[in-house]
Amino acid sequence: MIAEAGLAALWLAAALALLQTLAGFGGLGDRLAPLTGALRGIAAAQGLLSLTAFLLLIWLFARTDLSVLLVATNSHVDKPMLYKIAGTWGNHEGSMLLWVTVLALTGGLIALMERKLDARSFAATLGAQGVIALGFYAFLLFSSNPFARLSPPAAMGQGLNPLLQDPGLAFHPPTLYIGYVGLSVAFSFAVGAMLTGKAGPAFARAMRPWVLISWIFLTLGITAGSYWAYYELGWGGWWFWDPVENASLMPWLAATALLHSVSVLAARDALRAWTIMLALTGFAMSMIGTFLVRSGILTSVHAFAVDPERGTFILVLLALYIGGALTLFATRIGSVRQGAPFHLFSREGGLVANNILLSSILAIVLIGTLYPLIAEGLFDEQLSVGPPYFNKTTMPVTLVLMLFLAAGPLLRWRRDGSGSLPRKLLLPAGASVVALVLLMLFAPDAGLLPLLGLIFAAGLAIASLVPLWGRNLLRTPLPIYGMVLAHLGVAVAAAGMASESGFTQERLQAVRYGEEVEVGGWTVQLLGLDPVAGPNWTAIEARVLARKGEGEWILRPQSRNYPSPPMQTNEAALLSRWNGQLYATLGTQDQQSRWQLRLWWKPFVSLIWLGGILIALGGSLALLGRLWRGFRARYTKRVQEGFA
Amino acid sequence: MKAKHQRLTLVVVAAVALIGAVLLAMQGLRSQAAYFYQPAALLKADVPPGQPIRLGGLVLPGSIAKAADGVTTRFSVSDGKATVPVTYRGIVPDLFVEGSGVVATGRLDAGGVFVADNLLAKHDENYVPRELGNIDREAVISESETLIK
């Protein structure tokens, strides 16, 4: 019964999405205008129904109802409860349902909260949301029904891929999806603005919180995903330029650019067409990301067996939405009034540079990610594009971007004629020189890119704090703190990446009990092996003693066996110190009873993820500041009206 | 500066930057894209040593051997028509067994041995690397039998 109820909720939600589309776009003309009044209710109800369907699916997974095909193929009676629930979205159908649920809930939230937009733009925006949701409901109902029954029911269930049996699964996909879907909201706002021709500061202010939310969640999702891959895959790397990783990076790049251009639009009424274009690009990247992940078309560490028909469906949706929006852009952008002009040497100019550089990186990543598909389709050649390409092409642009990032926030709006920029950059430049001297003295053979990365990061870290100079810190608005923190986060993350790539030391050795291995100033010794058992796995666990100076620590890397589905995984052991991480994985035994140990010492690697968290925190401060300001403005207005 | 000129300037600057990015990407792709070969195709193609490539096929049954250092694995990759010797220094992936599909990233050395720096074995029992879909498993097995004889 529960599965049928879920399916019914999904159909009803789809019907409401259709109604929302009609009512929303109908709000532009006169004939359907009466429906527009009901728009808020329709969108909210659609959100609730979609949420109901999703909760029912979670319920089916929690109870391990093996008469449901999806549960039987992706879950197992012996799985721990956390993974039973998280397993709901650890598969294709469930994750698409999560996608559309987040989308519908966001639509409901816009319907209930949005007060800044004029009525026509509001209706058109919700109409666009309806169209997007409708496509995904069709996708679920016609090609990926999560509630399909299995007859006769399975006995145990096939289980979940062990690599996914990790707390990361509970957190990582929903975070990324909120990010992806947030960009669909920006897209809908942009479509609304194009239809009504109103693309001024009001539009930017209405869109900004959603872009911020999307960007914060994408940042968190990427950061968490990177750390997850780092410890779960046991390969010692934190970013593999894998198509699926790029699928999350590309929307982030677009969202970062959009976030900055939307700020220019809100503050200075400039960059109108540009902002709209970026909003379209951002959602296009979300869709391409969804397509790459869900079609399994590119060989990837994430490649689960997925059938190509689904990929085609998403591709058709992608073509419809993005093609439609671009056509709209081409025909309507002429009717969007010009924004305010500005001098190129100004805050706006700096932000334009930021936008162009981010878009360039985006183009490079997009080309590299899709090139294997193009080469196979056009030239019938099979090839792959990996880290050598991406590092070589994106790093130089990123370094230039860091220069602009340091200088941009120090410029004034409209036109910076003060000539104070060189003075303000004195201290950051000094920090870079100090970093250069220190590196030359203590680590002369780090390699060019890590060296440049660290020098630029040192300068950027100081430069990011300069906007606070001379301000009353108690009266500084939250968004300024947000910007400072996010830019500081970029410097911190860049320093971590440069340090990891420049100074990592690795040892791979087959060792007997008691044998010692040296790596990065650590003495590591294999003490012994123990059999251990978890709720649904057994493992061989190594006891590894790591010593440095007076300190002694025990690391316990495991080699795990899962019976269902049958699979062996390596669980890395990590030892975090203030100045880096010691990373150990256990391999196999050879004929002379030696065990393979692979060890890395990664100086300051944690800064990578700390930087990501700082960036997201900065975004959150900015969001809080904006929301608080909006709330206070409304409150003051209401009080004044009360007195009048 | 007039508003119209400004819009034009911005469009031109953006276009130049994007074209620059595309050129950078094309140049990078030409030198860094790793072509994929199966053993027979690799022997036919004239790939210079040191060029990064990927090699895919089935692990020839009976070919896996571990070197004295305990961390270097030698094996052969076959597609039923030809075999290529491979050496890999590292922990072999979980599902790397005789007869399993494998995709190795690396380069040929001067002696025609493929030096792998990464092995991708199939992930779970449902997943076969897409590039290996056409390999005739029977041919590989019969080839290993003739080698044993």
Packed helices A92-113 and A2-26: angle between N→C axes, nearest 10 degrees: 40
**DSSP string of chain B, one letter each residue:** --HHHHHHHHHHHHHHHHHHHHHHHHHHHHHH-EEEE-HHHHHHS-PPTT--EEEEEEEPTT--EE-TTSSEEEEEEE-SS-EEEEEEESPPPTT--TT-EEEEEEEE-TTS-EEEEEEEE-SSTT---GGGTT--HHHHHHHHHHHH-
Q: Which DSSP letter does residue A371 get? A: H
User: Could you tell me if A435 and A454 are in contact, meaning their C-beta atoms sit under 8 angstroms apart?
Assistant: yes
Kindly state whether residues A615 and A491 are assigned to the same domain. yes
**DSSP string of A563-626, one letter each residue:** ETTEEEEEEPEEEEETTEEEEEEEEEE-TTS-EEEEEEEEETTTHHHHHHHHHHHHHHHHHHHH
Contact A357 B17 (CB under 8 A): yes
Whether A567 and chain B come into contact, CB under 8 Å, resolves to yes
Kindly state whether residues A51 and A152 are assigned to the same domain. yes
Kindly state whether residues A13 and A107 are assigned to the same domain. yes
Q: What is the pairing mode between strands B34-37 and B53-59? A: parallel
Whether residue A398 lies inside any domain: the answer is: yes
Distance from CA of B118 to the nearest CA of A (A): 10
Whether B52 and chain A come into contact, CB under 8 Å, resolves to yes
Whether residue A410 lies inside any domain: the answer is: no
Kindly state whether residues A456 and A398 are assigned to the same domain. no
| Chain B residues closer than 8 Å to A352 by CB | 10, 13
Nearest to A531 by CA among A560, A497, A502: A560
pLDDT value at B125 more than 50 = no
Contact B94 A567 (CB under 8 A): yes
Kindly state whether residues A464 and A541 are assigned to the same domain. no
Q: CB within 8 A of A293, min separation 6: which ones?
A: A244, A247, A302
Contact B33 A590 (CB under 8 A): no
From first CA to last CA, the distance across chain A in angstroms is 57
Of A363, A592, A596, the CB nearest to B25: A363
Count Cβ neighbours within 10 Å for each residue of A34-71 and write b for 16 or more, e otherwise.
ebbeebbebbbbbbbbbbbbbebbbbbbeebbbebbbb
Nearest to A389 by CA among A367, A373, A374, A362: A367
Contact A510 B70 (CB under 8 A): yes
pLDDT reported for residue A200: 87
Distance from CA of A161 to the nearest CA of B (A): 8
Amino acid A541 reads E
CA distance A225 to A248: 9
Contact A508 B126 (CB under 8 A): no
Contact B25 A588 (CB under 8 A): no
Whether residue A189 lies inside any domain: the answer is: no
Whether A374 and chain B come into contact, CB under 8 Å, resolves to no
Q: CB within 8 A of A318, min separation 6: which ones?
A: A284, A287, A288, A291
Q: Which site among A333, A364, A560 would you substitute to test the B interface, given the most B Cβ atoms closer than 10 Å to its Cβ? A: A364
- CB-based burial of residue B146 (10 Å sphere; 0-12 exposed, 13-18 middle, 19+ buried)? exposed
Whether residue A412 lies inside any domain: the answer is: no
CA distance A337 to A273: 9
CA distance A636 to B3: 37
Contact A386 B1 (CB under 8 A): no
Amino acid A574 reads L
Whether residue A170 lies inside any domain: the answer is: no
**A540, containing H or E segment:** strand A538-548
Q: Which of residues 246-265 of A touch B (CB under 8 A)?
A: none
Distance from CA of B65 to the nearest CA of A (A): 10
Whether A307 and chain B come into contact, CB under 8 Å, resolves to no
Handedness of CA A80, A85, A89, A93 (dihedral sign): positive
CA distance A80 to A169: 13
Amino acid A296 reads G
CA distance A3 to A395: 49
pLDDT reported for residue B128: 55
User: Could you tell me if A411 and A349 are in contact, meaning their C-beta atoms sit under 8 angstroms apart?
Assistant: yes
How many residues in total does chain A contain?
A: 644
Distance from CA of B146 to the nearest CA of A (A): 27
Cβ-Cβ pairs closer than 8 A, A with B, add up to 143
Whether A359 and chain B come into contact, CB under 8 Å, resolves to yes
Kindly state whether residues A247 and A323 are assigned to the same domain. yes
Kindly state whether residues A571 and A612 are assigned to the same domain. no
Kindly state whether residues A597 and A611 are assigned to the same domain. no
Q: Select from A358, A375, A405 the last residue of a domain.
A: A405
- CB-based burial of residue A329 (10 Å sphere; 0-12 exposed, 13-18 middle, 19+ buried)? middle
Q: Which of residues 14-33 of B touch A (CB under 8 A)?
A: 14, 17-18, 20-22, 24-26, 28-29, 32-33
**A404, containing H or E segment:** helix A387-407
Whether A303 and chain B come into contact, CB under 8 Å, resolves to yes
Q: Which site among A277, A362, A508 would you substitute to test the B interface, given the most B Cβ atoms closer than 10 Å to its Cβ? A: A508
Q: Which of residues 392-421 of A touch B (CB under 8 A)?
A: 392-393, 396-397
Whether A364 and chain B come into contact, CB under 8 Å, resolves to yes
Q: Which DSSP letter does residue A380 get? A: -
Which tens digit of pLDDT belongs to each residue from A143-176?
888 888 887 777 777 777 676 677 777 788 888 8
Top-tier CATH class for B35-148: mainly beta
pLDDT reported for residue A535: 81
Q: Which of residues 594-613 of A touch B (CB under 8 A)?
A: 594, 596, 598
Handedness of CA A190, A195, A196, A198 (dihedral sign): positive
Kindly state whether residues A429 and A530 are assigned to the same domain. no
CA distance B123 to A40: 46
Kindly state whether residues A231 and A328 are assigned to the same domain. yes
User: Could you tell me if A320 and A329 are in contact, meaning their C-beta atoms sit under 8 angstroms apart?
Assistant: no
Whether B99 and chain A come into contact, CB under 8 Å, resolves to no
Instruction: Report chain A (644 residues): mean pLDDT per 10 consecutive residues.
Output: 90 93 78 69 93 94 86 81 84 88 91 81 90 92 86 74 71 86 91 88 90 94 90 84 89 95 89 91 90 68 54 84 89 77 82 92 93 82 85 92 91 78 87 92 85 94 90 86 95 95 91 90 92 87 91 91 77 91 88 87 95 96 88 81 68
- A542 DSSP β-pair partners: A529
Contact A363 B21 (CB under 8 A): yes
Contact A342 B131 (CB under 8 A): no
Amino acid A438 reads L
- CB-based burial of residue B48 (10 Å sphere; 0-12 exposed, 13-18 middle, 19+ buried)? exposed
Q: Which DSSP letter does residue A378 get? A: I
| Chain B residues closer than 8 Å to A342 by CB | 6
| Chain A residues closer than 8 Å to B103 by CB | 299
Whether A561 and chain B come into contact, CB under 8 Å, resolves to no
State pTM to two decimals.
Answer: 0.91
Packed helices A39-62 and A92-113: angle between N→C axes, nearest 10 degrees: 150
Kindly state whether residues A555 and A454 are assigned to the same domain. no
Tokens of A46: 């659609």
Tokens of A415: 């036109």
The nearest alpha carbon in chain A to B11 belongs to: A274
Whether A440 and chain B come into contact, CB under 8 Å, resolves to no
The nearest alpha carbon in chain A to B22 belongs to: A364
pLDDT value at B126 more than 50 = no
Whether residue A175 lies inside any domain: the answer is: no
Of B4, B29, B130, the CB nearest to A385: B29
Contact B89 A508 (CB under 8 A): yes
pLDDT reported for residue A344: 77
Whether B45 and chain A come into contact, CB under 8 Å, resolves to no
Amino acid A376 reads E
Contact A588 B92 (CB under 8 A): yes
Range of the domain at A52: 1-165
CA distance A464 to A390: 27
Which tens digit of pLDDT belongs to each residue from A300-344?
444 444 556 777 788 888 889 989 989 988 888 877 777 777 777
Handedness of CA A266, A272, A278, A279 (dihedral sign): positive
The nearest alpha carbon in chain B to A338 belongs to: B3
CA distance B53 to A564: 35
Q: Which site among A369, A588, A595 would you substitute to test the B interface, given the most B Cβ atoms closer than 10 Å to its Cβ? A: A588
CA distance A329 to A190: 9
Of B1, B35, B92, the CB nearest to A383: B35
Tell me, what's the ipTM? Answer: 0.84
Task: Provide the edge-to-edge strand list for the sheet that holds A573-577.
Answer: A505-511, A595-603, A580-589, A573-577
Of B4, B18, B29, the CB nearest to A371: B29
How many independent structural domains does chain A possess? 4
Kindly state whether residues A11 and A25 are assigned to the same domain. yes
How many residues in total does chain B contain?
A: 149
Contact B71 A596 (CB under 8 A): yes
From first CA to last CA, the distance across chain B in angstroms is 84
Q: Which of residues 318-357 of A touch B (CB under 8 A)?
A: 338-344, 352, 356-357
Q: Which residue has the tokens 């294997």?
A: A372
More confident residue, A293 or B38: B38
Contact B69 A567 (CB under 8 A): no
